[in-house]
Structure 1
Amino acid sequence: MDPLLSVIVFLFTFLSIKFACSASELSYNNHCNSFVSYSTPSNKRVNTFPLGDTHNGYFQGGKKITGLGNGETWSQFSFYLQPRRIQTTEASHLFKLEGLVSFRSTLAWNFTYVQSRSHRSRRIRHGSDLVTSFKLEGFWSESSGKVCMVGRGTYFSEKGESIGLEAVFKLNNVFSSSNISSMVIGKLESLSSENDKSYFEPISVFMFPKEAYKYTLDSTEADKECSSGIDAEQGLSLDSNSLSFCSYSISRAIAMLPLEYSDECNSPKNCTPIDGSSGQLPTLMSLKAIQCSHSQKHTMRVLLEFSNNSYYYYGMNQEKNPQNILVGEGWWNKKSNVLCVVACHIKGISSSVDGTRVDDCSVRLRLRFPSTWSIKNTSSIVGEIWSNKTANEQGYFKRIKFRNDEARLVVVGHGLEYEYSQLEIANKSCHNQKPVEGQGKSYPEAYSYDMRFDMSVRESRKRVAWGYSAPLFVADKFYDLGMPMFSDSVSSFSDQVPPPDIHNNNTGSLFNISYKISLTPLSLSGIDDKNSFFSNKSFESVKLTAEGIYDAQGGTLCMVGCREVSSKNAINTYSLDCEIMVNFQFPPLGTTNGRRIRGSIESTRKKSDPLYFKPLDLSASTNYVISLRRNAWRMDMEVIIALISTTLACVFVGLQLYHVKRNPDVLPFISIMMMSILTFGYMIPLVLNLEALLSQNPNNKNIVYGFVGWLEVNEIAVRLTTMKGRASASIYAGGYYNREPSSWENFKSYGGLVMDGFLLPQIILNIFSNIKRAQILSCSFYIGTTFVRVLPHAYDLYRAHNYAEVDNFAYLYADPDTDFYSTAWDIVIPLGGILFTIIVYLQQRFDALCVMPQRFKGSFAYDKVPAETELEGEVQTTNM
């Protein structure tokens, strides 16, 4: 069940207890008795309703209910039944029902393209869903297959007004058993008058029953049709214990399958299994398993949905067109390792579901998992759709192929192999390369996490795209994209032995390797050069496959590549251009000077060739595992330093409080400005840290540092200790604290700089007060606090010299967002802090004016008042 709907169902049930009573107040006899007669329920409860506890279907209508579409499109709805509320009645064929019907539609859609470590850019939906629910009570007739229920619901208008709804819900064809032709149809109608604001237009619904289903389309003839044809090769055998097209990994892999048409298919006529009245051929198909059974041939019930919108299959678009949906049965042929499907059309669908039926089961589908990959075929799923009709019959269409190149979405079975065919060309290219400088250094192992990376793509010195690159096979071993990042078997240390079954090419450092590369243009604007790699391309990624040789001793990777080139005649069909060279140079392991992975993609064709393209320059950051481990150790060290420095800050504040307690006469001479700087400097981050601590999302794990589990615990400890230290400073400030607005968070760096100079206000106050040998501040406080402020800058110099740059989120101490950190600032700020400490020491050791030039000392001098004035006090005179 959808988690969102589960929560809504719970809240609706909990908060709408009154509906349980109000539903019964509606007269069942007035609205339902002629459809399903009333019968007095008994106390006996059963669970025999054929639709199950939760059932999804499709609805159309309800135009006047905000958010439920325009009344013309079909969307998904859900029917929830309370199993403990199914009761027998005095009539043996009648059962009392209580349930919840929820209609879900989308209010707003906003999409954002996200660049991620995947083969294509992801388009993320930001929006909200509207769910209108009805609590219903009624009866089901087992003999007639009819259901009638009455009840109430609620929805919120665009103005936020809650409006109550009254409705009657009627269903047909709800029988105890079902097959491919069974279809539950019905209607939800408003009981309000058309002039009432709670009135809504009728909502038509249809569902495919799940319970007590009988498979009928698996025949010898259909099995024979599936075992022959253009794509009749043997596929991978899957473990019978794990075979389930309803499982997440396989269901996601078959949820978006690009369709490839023959050259003569330029229009829907005789080229598509669905109604082509729109004038466009669908480019994508979704194979959705709605029910799986492991008995006998591992049968399954499926929906085939066709569309031109790739986001339709990720649940981002709830609108459906039943004319684009086929329902069918499938079974796994263990002999040929192929999934066979017989699919049927949904006929008679219109604004009214009366007369809707499943008919014309002439569509065939075959799907397999290829057992052998190559540079020209790296599809994890291939298959085809065809009709068993002749070309002269209505409903006939030409064969359509489909495939899925997303290898990571499929659970790869045993026996998958890769055939290298371009190694000879790659060998010649590798031998022509210049020797790599810096021999003796260590480079990434062939089978390691370091071999996959994101990259920036430049064409003619202009950044035009971003990309992702990852191995498919190393020698004859599949490169597991889901392997643990820091397991011993994938270590990047050069002294580790490669995993078993990896055979070297010639020597101990040469490896046969194949790659999958995906390049996504940043923008289509400006790509009008016919020789551009991205000319005449859509926003979708351009895919390349490559194979060649990796030299682990020199960090060089040279390969022959093949890219997909769109066919001018066929729709969604590609040819391959394999006259491409792909080269990468990896920097040594342990690189700390910002060196990057450098590479290129070049066409070996002549410039006059239509398929020639300008060279691409590639670069990628080196997030080597060994570097990540060093950075993990650095983060551990930062945790320790942060704990120590924060604890010391608490101690130094406590010593100053003790000093003031012992010498209360110095309290008026302590700078309020200095106390305010320390207070605000500690309290603002205190509030921000508390917010971050309470709002941490456990699901937001970073792929790089998520493995250091106890770092999160230590970070919390740092936050708590820091909060403790800042609270001590707040106690010291007493009543001088005023909480600053949260917008000051944008000025954290300037706040850190001000805190570095916290002694300056005290120095100025000392001068104007002209103190003489007065210990206003304890030495431990001003020297110790200065040390705490100087230490991050000293550490930043050490960190910059010894560690590669990482993202700001990885800084647990001396965060550049909280102060000014650079080589210059790391020298200037400590020198300034030490200078202020020396000045305070001299002022308290001698007098406040000892640090002033001689010509200014007279301006702050004290004059003795003559005795005849009979005033014994002192008056300060200045020349200001």
Structure 2
Amino acid sequence: MAPPSPNNPNLYSYHLCFLLLLVSSTTTLSAAISTSYSSLCPSSLTPAQNIHTDVDDTLSLTRSFQISTGHFSGGDGNLFSADDDDLYNSYRSFSLFPHGASRTSDKAIVHLTATLTITGPRTLAYRSRGHRHKYTVPVSISFVLDGYYSPVSFQLCMVGSGTEQSADGSLKHYPDVALRLRVPSPPSLSDPFVSGTLKGSDDLGTINLLAYAEGDDYKYRSDRAACRKPRQPARGSFQALGGNSSAWCAHLKEQLVTSYRLEHGGATGPLLGRLRESRKMDVNQMQCTQDGAVRAYLVFFNDTAGSERAGFYYRQRRFLVDEEAAVVAEGRWDSVQGVLCLRACPVVRSVSAPSALAVREDECGIGMSFWFPAVWTMRDRSVVAGMLWNSTQETTSGNKDDAAGAGAGLITASSIEVTDHNQIIFDVAGNHRSSNLSDVKYSYNDTMLEEAKKHYDLKFRKEKIKRSHSFPGNYTYRDFEFRFYGEDGMGNGQAYPVTIGSVMVVGDRLAADDSFSHRHAEVENGLLNVSYDIQYSAPRERPRTSRITNGSYMLTTEEQERVSAEGVYDPEKGILCMVGCRGHNGSTDCQILVTVKFSSLYARGHENGRGAISSLRENKTDPLFFERIDIRLYGMYSGEMSEAISRMDLESVLLVASTTLSCVFTVLQILHTKKNPEAAAATSITMLAILTLGYLTPLVLNFEAMFRSRRSRYFGYSMIGPLEINEVMMRAPILVAFVLQLRLLQLAWSGRRRPAEQTPPPPVSERIVLQICLPLYLIGAVLAATVHVVNVRAAAEHPLVVRTGGEPATIWEDLVSYAGLILDGFLLPQVILNAALAGAGSGVRAISPWFYIGCTMNRAMPHVYDVVRGQIYEQSINPSDLYASPRGDLFGVAWDIVIPCGAALLAALLFLQQRRRGTASLPSRRKTSGGYELVSNI
């Protein structure tokens, strides 16, 4: 129905009806909410009329009710999975974000509108290769709510409805939902938690909500905070917090909200005794004000893996409630001393509501101090350090600031997450969490250095090296990083330098790189002092039958180990010798020898060197003794990384140039076909169809790996390269070539539809082509699939094999590679067609020499380049081929010879066929008295 004309006198009637309908709908919706509210919320929270509220008051009210991170439990059993999945951030959480808040005519009531979002893990299933697979994904349900809050009873009641997007894309609705929360106003140390329930229909159930209050109206009692001076020098506030006084709170939260390793100094009593079994601590939530007040929620647990396990690339701060113990704390940041002083209270389960938490006010006697160490040692390399003690007990000397006097009763804390190089940590906003540690001093352990020098003299001092070799030196610290795996397939890990000479290189890499480039590392007696952080997976029981085969290694039950090591490095010989310490089963083992012999910077091959991690204990029955682990280094030096990126840029150019030339050759063939109309009927439809599908495949299939940024493949190594071609520029020539091939195919098909005088006619000849080519292609596909199955079965005999060169190709990928072989022989259908038409006496040259010679060269060049690449470039453990990729064709020593020769042979046959037919069709000339006379050859 068309809208009424502006001159239509009924226009105003339409507008009036629309307004009445809108008012009626709004009234009905408000009545429905009012009816639901009166039935689901207590009578004490009676809806009242809103009154005018200024902007500042509205913002203050909305911040008071905002919750960004909370935890929920319960709900219908089919709504979410029972277990959280930390690896993919699939855990139970909720958030509450108010849209608006206003005062009402009843001064004790506040009107609030908000959106509540609950997110939890849900297990989905799919079938692949006849097996059923399960995976966990985070699912969110959002609720739009409206209700009222009473600051007298601390009760918030809201009603509304929720929606969720189903797997099929449709929306699932949850009507008549009621939210009831207890929100302390204002929250304080003794009452800091928000708790309540969300109830709905049977498919939603009852969900218990719990969160740490985040509002700005928190009531601080910072004057009661306990404080002790650090046992070691602390960095100044300016350096530790980024040098920005206005943003100190954000920097403090960024550094302190992390995980800590605890060491107990004999803490006893009712306060600290319950934390005796806890080995880890998480500063889980933290809030602070611009005047220096700080409050936090901390949890304790005994997870031996904790934050050190791999996989936490994005570590969002979820609200933890299921740990062994927890405390709430408040205090103040002392900017003069550079120390955070806190007073903490234990948290227990509420008696009245087991799903909620309560604070034991009678035990608020736990003192805490945190600071940023200004000096690092081999035993203490934490960005943040701290200590916990019983502040109700005075030391024997009567001085609260004397940490040494009560050292036996202290619990020391050392941050572990920020210096965990095994992963790059990001905060919720996606910012890289790092610290500028260029001002931190490192103190080497003289005993460890002397021990390392002694072993170096015994093992390597007399070793000679060729002068032509070059090893990692003083120009970039990245060459000192390396990854490794065990020679017998057991154990793999990474090693990162902490200091090289006196230069601190851990933490903020940009600052460290700048510092390292301006400071020459001190070499004493030809040796350079270094310290490392080494993380690796060690076998629990080392089998003797494991071995490396075909670039693969076997995996068995392993445990994570972490070694802090110091020693010496010989830049002339490329030899690293260190002595280190590790924590193992509650004990500290400082008799570990780490030796590494780097390969030359100009060496070619997979390995970057070899080494060993061994125990210096002679008694094999010692519980801290472990068998020697021989390791092989792999990866790339920084120079090799730059070379690899430059090579990928070059291959991008070759890929675009090859496709562009294909477009040019296709255009020349189109012009040849239009100039010689008889050529269209003599062109093989099968050949053109194969070429068209060859260009269509990369446009249809998901080949993001081919078009990704070269630099994104080596995250963390931002090299400046000469060229960066984006995905659009690389796809455009393929699309143009595909369209041109379609045009050529259309011309050939149109030529077939014209009446033909040839015998046999082209359609009959094309049938002969298909009768020969199709069985040939099918036999090749069966052979390719058979080879794939044989390889899969061979791998199945060792199901725990992990390939260091990437995942094995799927059967689809192998068939795609075989399709590349068909493309290499694209001239075969045309050669067969020409043979079928040989008796017709046709004098048409169907294919332009530019087309078949040019396209043949395009198909042969990747194999020529593959040979050159194997001789010039180093083979990478992480292959990144863009041009001459094995995922698009068959490559290897044999294929690189057979395919170009076969393509050249087909081109030569086509040349001879067209030359013979062209010669046979030329008329002969004989001279007469009047000139030349044309005489037929027949």
Task: Please state which band the TM-score falls in when normalised by the shorter chain.
Answer: 0.7 to 0.9
Indicate whether 1:200 and 2:205 are aligned: yes
Residues 39 and 90 in structure 1, CA contact (< 8 A), matched pair in contact too: yes
Once residues 451 and 26 of structure 2 are traced to their aligned partners in structure 1, the CA distance between those partners, rounded to angstroms, is: 74
User: Is the contact between residue 329 and residue 344 of structure 2 (CA under 8 Å) also seen in structure 1?
Assistant: yes
The residue type equivalent to 2:491 in the other structure is A
| CA distance 1:736–1:796, change in 2 (3 Å) | same
Secondary structure at 1:517 match in 2: strand
Q: 1:542 aligns with which of 545, 556, 561?
A: 561
Verify the 8 A CA contact 1:258 1:285 in the aligned structure 2.
yes
SS of the residue aligned with 1:464? coil
AA partner of residue 571 (structure 2): A
Q: Which moved more, 1:476-485 or 1:310-319?
A: 310-319
Over 3 Å counting, the alpha-carbon distance change for 1:139 and 1:803 in structure 2 is same
The residue matched to 1:846 in structure 2 has which SS? helix
Cα 1:376–1:732 change in 2 (3 A) is same
Q: Is 1:643 aligned to 2:656, yes or no? A: yes
Shift of the 500–690 alpha-carbon distance from structure 1 to 2, 3 Å rule, reads closer
Change in 2 beyond 3 A, CA 1:736/1:751: farther
SS of aligned partner of 1:838: helix
Residue in 2 that maps onto 1:107: 122
Partner of 1:752 in structure 2? Answer: 820
CA distance in 2, matches of 1:44, 1:387: 47
Measured in 2, the distance between the counterparts of 1:838 and 1:814 equals 24
Change (3 A) 1:238 1:735: farther
Contact 2:599 2:609 (C-alpha < 8 Å) held by counterparts = yes
- Choose between structure 1 and 2: higher helix proportion: 2
Equivalent residue, structure 1, for 2:481: 452
Q: Calculate the aligned-residue CA RMSD, in Å.
A: 4.4
Write the distance in 2 (CA, Å) between the matches of 1:841 and 1:155. Answer: 65
Q: Does 1:439 align with 2:467?
A: yes
Q: Provide the residue aligned with 1:303 in structure 2.
A: 297
Structure-2 residue corresponding to 1:678: 691
2:866 maps to what in 1?
796
In structure 1, what is the Cα distance between the partners aligned to 2:739 and 2:195? 65
Q: How does 1:391-430 map to 2 (within 5 A)?
A: 399-406=410-417, 407=419, 411-413=435-437, 414-421=439-446, 422-430=448-456
Distance between the aligned counterparts of 1:673 and 1:358, measured in 2?
Answer: 83
Question: Which amino acid in the other structure matches residue 454 of structure 1?
Answer: R
Cα distance in 1 between the residues matched to 2:574 and 2:567: 13
1:706 Cα deviation after fit: 5.5
In the alignment, the residues of structure 2 paired with residue 339 and residue 814 of structure 1 have an alpha-carbon distance, to the nearest angstrom, of 59
Paired residue for 2:149, among 140, 148, 170? 140
User: Is contact 1:184–1:209 with CA below 8 Å preserved after alignment?
Assistant: no
**Contact 1:715 1:812 (8 Å CA) reproduced:** no
- AA at the equivalent of 1:589: L
Note if contact 1:50-1:174 (Cα within 8 Å) is conserved in structure 2: no
Corresponding residue for 1:286?
282
1:375 aligns with 2:378: yes
Q: Deviations over 1:674-719 (max 9, x none)?
A: 22221222221232368779x9799965327754577542554233
User: 3-state DSSP class of the match of 1:821?
Assistant: coil
Structure 1: gaps spanning 5 or more residues: 1-15, 111-124, 275-279, 392-396, 491-497, 530-536, 567-572, 851-880
Equivalent residue for 1:89? 104
Residues 206-254 of structure 1 show CA distances to partners (whole Å, capped at 9, x for unaligned) of 653532223214337x23xx23xxx733333332645878647864664
1:723 equivalenced with 2:735 (yes/no): yes
TM-score by length of 2: 0.72
2:895 maps to amino acid: W
Amino acid at match of 2:596: F
**CA distance in 2 between partners of 1:517 and 1:794 (Å):** 42
- The whole-number CA distance in structure 2 between the counterparts of 1:663 and 1:486 is 69
Residue aligning to 1:824 = 894
- Aligned position for 2:837: 769
1:162 CA displacement: 3.5
How far apart, in 1, do the equivalents of 2:919 and 2:726 lie?
Answer: 47
TM-aligned CA deviation for residue 618 of structure 1: 1.4
CA distance in 1, matches of 2:868, 2:99: 65
Letter in 1 for 2:113: E
Q: Pick which of 830-839 and 779-788 moved more.
A: 830-839
Cα distance in 2 for partners of 1:833, 1:380 equals 63
Q: Residue 909 of structure 2 corresponds to which residue in structure 1?
A: 839
SS in 1 for 2:731: helix
Structure 2 counterpart of 1:836, one-letter code: L
1:730-745 equivalences in 2 (<5 Å): 730-734=742-746, 745=813
SS in 2 for 1:100: strand
Instruction: Name the counterpart of 2:160.
Output: 151
**Residues 637, 146 of structure 1: alpha-carbon distance in 2 compared, 3 angstrom cutoff:** closer
**Equivalents in 1 of 2:263, 2:616: separation in Å?**
28
| SS in structure 2 of the partner of residue 52 of structure 1 | helix
Deviation, structure 1 residue 70: 8.1
Kept in 2, the 8 Å contact 1:50–1:212? The answer is: no
Q: Helix, strand or coil for the counterpart of 1:647?
A: helix
Which residue is equivalent to 2:15?
none
Q: Shift in Å at residue 403 of structure 1?
A: 2.1
Q: In structure 2, how many angstroms separate the alpha carbons of the residues matched to 1:355 and 1:411?
A: 34
Query: By how many angstroms is 1:420 displaced?
Result: 3.7
Q: Secondary structure of 2:562's match?
A: strand
CA–CA distance in structure 1, aligned partners of residues 643 and 330 of structure 2: 54
Whether the aligned pair in 1 keeps the contact of 2:79 and 2:204 (CA below 8 Å) is no
1:577 positional shift? 2.5
CA distance change for structure 1 residues 544 and 200 in 2, over 3 Å: closer, same or farther? closer
Deviation of the 1:809 alpha carbon: 5.4
1:98 maps to 113
- Partner secondary structure for residue 591 of structure 1: coil
- Cα 1:603–1:148 shift into 2, 3 Å: closer
User: CA 1:784/1:765 → structure 2, altered by over 3 Å: closer, same or farther?
Assistant: same
- Residue 489 of structure 2: aligned partner: 463
- 1:519 maps onto 2:536 in alignment: yes
Report the secondary structure of 2:509's partner residue: coil
- The question of whether the paired residues in 2 share the 8 Å contact of 1:181 and 1:358 is answered with yes
Give the conservation status (yes or no) of the 8 Å contact 1:674–1:758: yes
Query: How much has 1:338 moved relative to structure 2?
Result: 3.1
Match of 2:641 in 1: 628
Rounded Cα–Cα distance in structure 2 between residues aligned with 1:19 and 1:400: 62
Question: How far apart in 2 are the matches of 1:249 and 1:684?
Answer: 52
Q: Contact 1:102–1:133 (CA<8 Å) still a contact in 2?
A: yes
Q: Map Cα deviations across residues 832-879 of structure 1 (whole Å, 9 max, x no partner).
A: 2222222111111125999xxxxxxxxxxxxxxxxxxxxxxxxxxxxx
Task: Tell me which residue corresponds to 2:791.
Answer: none
CA contact (8 A) 1:60 1:205 kept: yes
Amino acid in the other structure paired with 2:535: S
The whole-number CA distance in structure 2 between the counterparts of 1:40 and 1:331 is 41
Once the two structures are TM-superposed, the CA of residue 306 in structure 1 deviates from its matched residue by: 2.0
Structure 1 residue identity aligned to 2:570: D
Deviations for 1:574-597, whole angstroms, at most 9, x for unmatched residues?
A: 31232x332222222233344532
Q: For the residues of structure 2 that align with 1:132 and 1:19, how far apart are their CA atoms?
A: 25
1:588 aligns with 2:600: yes
Whether the 8 Å contact between 1:234 and 1:336 is mirrored in structure 2 is: no
Aligned equivalents of 2:876, 2:440: Cα separation in 1: 40
Q: Which residue identity does 2:611 align to in structure 1?
A: G
Q: Which residue identity does 2:856 align to in structure 1?
A: T
Residue by residue over 1:514-539, the C-alpha shift from the partner in whole angstroms, topping out at 9 and shown as x without a partner, is: 11111113x6565699xxxxxxx995
Matches of 2:27 and 2:857, distance apart in 1 = 67
Q: Distance in 2 between matches of 1:607 and 1:322?
A: 39
- Paired amino acid for 2:369: R
Contact 1:547/1:559 (<8 A) preserved: yes
State the Cα distance separating 1:542 from its structure 2 match: 0.8
Q: 1:186 to 1:563 in 2, by over 3 A?
A: closer
Give the C-alpha shift of residue 804 in structure 1: 0.4
Letter in 2 for 1:769: L
Contact 1:99–1:136 at 8 Å: present in 2 too?
yes
- CA gap of 1:808–1:236, structure 2 versus 1, over 3 A, is closer
Judged with a 3 Å threshold, the aligned counterparts in structure 2 of structure 1 residues 701 and 157 are, in CA distance, closer, same or farther, namely: closer
134-143 or 720-729, larger mean C-alpha shift = 134-143
The question of whether the paired residues in 2 share the 8 Å contact of 1:23 and 1:135 is answered with no
Structure 1 pair 807–600 and aligned structure 2 pair: CA distance change class (3 A): closer
Deviation at 1:474, TM superposition (A): 0.9
Query: Which deviates more, 595-604 or 196-205?
Result: 196-205
The equivalent residue for 1:320 is 321
